[in-house]
Structure 1
Amino acid sequence: MSESVAVIGAGPGGLVTARWLTAQGFEVTIFEAGSDLGGQWTGAPGRSGVWPEMHTNTSRILTAFSDLPHNGATTFPSNRDVLAYLRRYAETFAARIRFGVEVTRLSRDARGWLLEHAEGAERFARVVVATGRFQVPVIPPVAGLATFDGSESVVSTYDFRDSARYRGKRVLVAGCAVSALEIAAELVRAGARVVVTQRRQRYVLPKFAAGVPSDHRIFTRYGVLAAEALPATEIDRQLREIVVEAGGSPEQYGAPAPDPSLFAAGVTLSQDYLPLVAEGRISVRPWIASVAGDVVTFGDGHGETFDGVVFGTGFRQSLPFLDENIRATVDLDDVHLDAELHTFHPDLPGLAFVGMWDQSGGYFVPLELQARWIAYTWGGVVPPRDPDAQRRAVSAYRDRRGLPQKTRMNLIAVAFARLAGVEPRLSRWPQLRRALLFGPLAPSCFRLEGPDALPDAADRFARDAAAFGAITTEEFSEREERYWAMVVSSDRR
């Protein structure tokens, strides 16, 4: 008899985990609190931070799973395209989903894992928590913010839905992450007068540069190998060189100058934000000092009146259904969850977490690789992790608490691929060497070898890598040769 697994959440992480667990013979049931699958991509108020005109900031190739390409989607799919894709994915792999069932408590006893909900309680051999970590927006404390009385009030980007209501109004957008910058640009196009306030200026990378999606440029296998072989200062320099070459530096557009270190400043993807700053249609101010009525005073002492304020200032982690023992074991707080690579804890066998990390770049590829690692581990395809090794990994994570937690998509994707045994070896694919190093981390490249390798994966990956340029040729650019030489010559490789 196959083991039962409950997956909590029918977003991308829950769907792809259910697909791979089912392939390993587990009997999987997905519990979804809402009335539709898709997680954030439903656009449902109160359950999603997706607004009607939102498009992805990741390309269609990296916003897909390895078993199902998009159906004629644009380079950057709309939120409706992504939701349709996820519905098709669930139908293709016959996902068993129970809608409208919100898990209120997850606990463990000697007989397994107990899920409690409004309909009662059910027991499962294993559980996957895939509810996401971007559901509770954070609005930072600002002196006098509660007194704001502009006509459009204060909202978070998570609750932003209608740009048309701001036409002709003065709007302050707080933050420099992707949602803040994309909404600022949308508000300008809708006829609002927009000011952006930020604590620090990030580098801003256009989503598309020289005909190539930027996630194809910066989230590469080379970047992983370089991070393992070269000093952090050299990685910082190389990434900054790529970003500035593609989109310039913010001060060239009239925005504040960022920190010379890209790691210190951070980077955000946005196609239109900096050009709108250059045109004077978006003004940039220091961070908010105080609010009094409809007047916002900034750190430089300058004050302006606004009709509305939109905060794009991040999220806190929230898993209210975990019982006190599980919460204590993983030492859950607003940011952290102790687990080996955000997935397993040695003291919680049969429990896995999916998608509970913060990163730059798209989540679809690493989510699938994490799902395969979980499924292969529980299915016996790859050896179970040594508990002592897991404890060392958890300890190392705890040592980093208080430091910046955001990771890069390519680093975590390759880490999951290695644990799942599906990282392609360069020596086996000489015809794809350049694409595997400097091309996109397309899901097809993780079906080249290892468990569930596909006979047509090489052709699929060659097409994916060449979609926006002849990346599969063996002619390396001078910069690529120089970068690669640094990696292979390093004695730390």
Structure 2
Amino acid sequence: MSSTPTDRGDATLVIGAGPAGLATARALAARGLPYDHVERHEGVGGIWDIDAPGSPMYEAAHFISSRTLSGFPGFPMAEDLPDYPDHRQVLAYLRDFAAAYRLAEQVETGRSVSAVERDGDGYLVTLGGGEQRRYAAVVCCSGAQWTPRMPEVPAAFTGEVRHSKEYRDLDQLRGRRVLVIGGGNSACDIAVDAARAAERAVISMRRGYWFIPKHVFGVPSDVFAARGPHLPKRIEQAVFGFVLNKLYGRPERLGLPKPDHRVFETHPVLNSNLFLALQHGDVVPRPGIADMAGTTVTFTDGSTEDVDLVIAATGYRHTIPYAEGLFTGEEHPDLYLTAFSREHEGLFGIGFTETNSGAYGHFDGLAQLVAAHLADRRDDPAAYARFRSMVRHERPDLSGGIRFDDSPRHAGYVDADALTAFRREVMGRMSWRAEHGTPAPAPAAVPA
């Protein structure tokens, strides 16, 4: 460990060069704020780089929001991309974004962070290898999909158990008797893969979910929703639930549990292929698990399956291991507007927003808010102090009238419209510009 930390003065450290980190870097650069940017992998892109060690990406992964509504403001996704780009296309988009705004050249790749600690009115950061630096502010953009949440598996079970984080492609399933646990987007994708390659494919859901098709009347679901009339949430829930049942049929008709909540009250599951696999008998639906012994899994309805591979698509804990002592909240960091530490001035987390729409616009909006706040620290101390008071004392209702599920996944969940509306209200209160300060470069600056 270095004996004397390098003092970076008023600079901000951005940790992670995935979508949230890149949005943050653009926002800081646009306001002329000094920053360093570190990334533990060898390139930018975060979880979308399937070749990065520890990435939870798998070959069948695609965006669950459409390209139309998923790009960063000022840098839309190309129109020749499919409605739902795959992970390689998303990675290419992120790297084009980084190149277009000259963000990649600022990133120190292969630099992990082992600790972030409070140090007077700033932060002492220890990098991999022991180097220490002192920063005035730190923005944690290392993502929410790195710490798997694993179910308890009885010791008597002799089959192989993996988290979905370890799943990559069909070759891991060939000839296996596969049980997928979970009802989210990854669980559905992996179950469909198992239908193609495994000897037997089973999916276990202990509760019911609403499944949203990727297209409604020929257009992406989120585009269809954005074009429609904006109704009170309870009416939207009732209408959309009715439409889903008409389009898909009730989930219980295919052997899935009946949803125990209204539509929109859990993270959206966009999948058009699982229902086909169930209808064709290629995936066998089972309820929750009662017991596991040998290679036999017994379900709560008394049925059994003989399996040799269990893939738990049971989500992630939203942890920030290198700064654990600084972020409160057991399952999800407790942050003002999902980005500002209430307790520690100059500490932020972007990329931990769980919401019911595409994430990149929210990452960008929050990054602009953070950059504006840090610019006030430099230029307008009174406005800076005023906003810090808001961060400490305000607890806005960001539910948008939706009663979100009380599961760990939804501990920090917010409604996209409510988050956007309140963020803009804050921008107005503080007289901040809501958009980034520099236009996109000319197309010639973007590599082909």
Q: Same fold (TM over 0.5)?
A: yes
Pair 220,20 (structure 1): closer, same or farther in 2 beyond 3 Å: farther
Partner of 2:339: 343
Partner of 2:322: 321
Task: Give the counterpart letter for 2:277 in structure 1.
Answer: L
Secondary structure, aligned partner of 2:361: helix
Partner of 2:147: 136
How far residue 57 of structure 1 moved from its aligned partner, in angstroms, is 1.4
Pair 61,267 (structure 1): closer, same or farther in 2 beyond 3 Å: closer
Secondary structure, aligned partner of 2:14: strand
Residue-by-residue CA offset, 1:402-425 (whole Å, 9 max, x unaligned): 674333434334433443459xxx
Partner of 1:389: 390
Task: Give the counterpart letter for 1:312 in structure 2.
Answer: A
Task: Give the counterpart letter for 2:256 in structure 1.
Answer: A
Instruction: Indicate conservation of the 8 Å contact 2:256/2:287, yes or no.
Output: no
Instruction: Indicate conservation of the 8 Å contact 2:74/2:439, yes or no.
Output: no
How far residue 222 of structure 1 moved from its aligned partner, in angstroms, is 6.1
Partner of 1:305: 306
How far residue 197 of structure 1 moved from its aligned partner, in angstroms, is 0.4
**Residue 113 (structure 1) aligned to one of 119, 123, 127:** 123
Instruction: Indicate conservation of the 8 Å contact 2:255/2:286, yes or no.
Output: no
Pair 192,373 (structure 1): closer, same or farther in 2 beyond 3 Å: farther
Pair 111,219 (structure 1): closer, same or farther in 2 beyond 3 Å: same
1:216 aligns with 2:217: no
Secondary structure, aligned partner of 2:391: helix
Task: Give the counterpart letter for 2:51 in structure 1.
Answer: A
How far residue 320 of structure 1 moved from its aligned partner, in angstroms, is 1.6
Secondary structure, aligned partner of 1:127: strand
Partner of 2:98: 90
Task: Give the counterpart letter for 2:157 in structure 1.
Answer: F
TM-score (norm 2): 0.83
1:182 aligns with 2:192: no
How far residue 43 of structure 1 moved from its aligned partner, in angstroms, is 1.2
Partner of 2:110: 100
Partner of 1:445: none
How far residue 296 of structure 1 moved from its aligned partner, in angstroms, is 0.6
Task: Give the counterpart letter for 2:333 in structure 1.
Answer: L
TM-score (norm 1): 0.76
Secondary structure, aligned partner of 1:244: helix
Instruction: Indicate conservation of the 8 Å contact 1:51/1:160, yes or no.
Output: yes
- RMSD (Å), alpha carbons: 3.0
Task: Give the counterpart letter for 2:348 in structure 1.
Answer: A
Pair 45,201 (structure 1): closer, same or farther in 2 beyond 3 Å: farther
Pair 203,86 (structure 1): closer, same or farther in 2 beyond 3 Å: same
**Residue 30 (structure 1) aligned to one of 34, 37, 43:** 37
Pair 421,275 (structure 1): closer, same or farther in 2 beyond 3 Å: farther
Task: Give the counterpart letter for 1:121 in structure 2.
Answer: Q
Secondary structure, aligned partner of 1:336: coil
Task: Give the counterpart letter for 1:93 in structure 2.
Answer: Y
Pair 255,366 (structure 1): closer, same or farther in 2 beyond 3 Å: same
How far residue 365 of structure 1 moved from its aligned partner, in angstroms, is 1.4
**Matches of 1:193 and 1:417, distance apart in 2:** 50
Instruction: Indicate conservation of the 8 Å contact 2:212/2:269, yes or no.
Output: yes
1:251 aligns with 2:259: no
**Matches of 1:127 and 1:141, distance apart in 2:** 35
How far residue 219 of structure 1 moved from its aligned partner, in angstroms, is 5.9
**Matches of 1:219 and 1:192, distance apart in 2:** 41
Partner of 1:460: none
Pair 264,94 (structure 1): closer, same or farther in 2 beyond 3 Å: closer
Secondary structure, aligned partner of 1:262: coil
How far residue 161 of structure 1 moved from its aligned partner, in angstroms, is 0.8
Task: Give the counterpart letter for 1:355 in structure 2.
Answer: G
Identity %: 29
**Matches of 2:168 and 2:390, distance apart in 1:** 45
Residues 228-377 of structure 1 aligned to structure 2 (within 5 Å): 230=232, 233-259=234-260, 261-262=262-263, 267-322=268-323, 324=325, 326=326, 330-333=327-330, 335-377=331-373
**Matches of 1:356 and 1:221, distance apart in 2:** 28
**Matches of 2:397 and 2:73, distance apart in 1:** 31
**Residue 43 (structure 1) aligned to one of 27, 32, 50:** 50
**Matches of 2:77 and 2:146, distance apart in 1:** 26
Task: Give the counterpart letter for 1:105 in structure 2.
Answer: A
How far residue 395 of structure 1 moved from its aligned partner, in angstroms, is 9.2
Secondary structure, aligned partner of 1:44: coil
Secondary structure, aligned partner of 2:335: coil
Partner of 1:56: 63
Task: Give the counterpart letter for 1:339 in structure 2.
Answer: L
How far residue 67 of structure 1 moved from its aligned partner, in angstroms, is 2.3
Pair 266,61 (structure 1): closer, same or farther in 2 beyond 3 Å: closer
Task: Give the counterpart letter for 2:146 in structure 1.
Answer: Q
